[in-house]
Amino acid sequence: MSAPLPFHTFLFDLDGTLLDQFDAIHQAYAHTLPQLGLPAPTPAQVRAAVGGGVRNAMLKFVAPNRIDEALAIYMPYWNATMLAGAHLFPGARELLADLHARGAKLAVLTNKAGHSSREICTHLDLDPLLDGVFGADDTPWLKPDPALVTHVLARLERPAAGTVLVGDSIFDVAAAANAGLACWCVTTGTHTAAQLHAAGPARVFPDLPALHAALGAGPASSIT
């Protein structure tokens, strides 16, 4: 028997939390910036830039007056190549399937574009397990704006009490704090355990199997 769940609703970040699409993200930046006369970024530079939405990330590399020019190159390339190499992190499907079977409401809440988010979730066959996929451009807001969480919970017809946001970045921690949610983090994305602990989530795990174990199922793994 599984233990009772501590939450009735789980909002999952996408990149760095449920799935790894980083190679495609890096390649899109490496394709775009040289066409603007700028050096191709390293993977480390891209990893440090992402998390706050593509426009905010691109502004780490280009001047504000060139952002629209950059995105006009980036977006068509991204739309054509984003599925290449995309894969779920170990334990992601098992976690979602178990929570779904135990009656939890599950949704994706990401700063990735909504249409891209839905396409990748469909590609990875997550749709049967999710009650919604909410991304950038679906609303006027991005994480960590609390209005985004309020909107999503209204669509899901669930209260903030009993909801947890699962993510990998300080944007996720701030989004949860601003909206009065619990926050659990994994270190499979953009931020280290030390950086996440400093931001103040309720718990930090090395990976999704460890988080799953803390919910009363899944293989045992160390918890930080």
Residues with a catalytic annotation lie at 13, 15
> Is the N-terminal amide bond of 144 cis, ω within 30° of 0?
yes
The count of residues in the chain is: 224
Beta-bridged to residue 56, according to DSSP, are: none
**Token pair recorded at residue 159:** 């209260």
The SS3 assignment for 14 reads coil
DSSP state of 41: P
> Using CA atoms, how far apart are residues 220 and 218, in angstroms rounded to an integer?
6
Please name the residues in contact with 198: beta carbons below 8 A apart, sequence gap of 6 or more. Answer: none
CB distance 90 to 18 below 8 Å: no
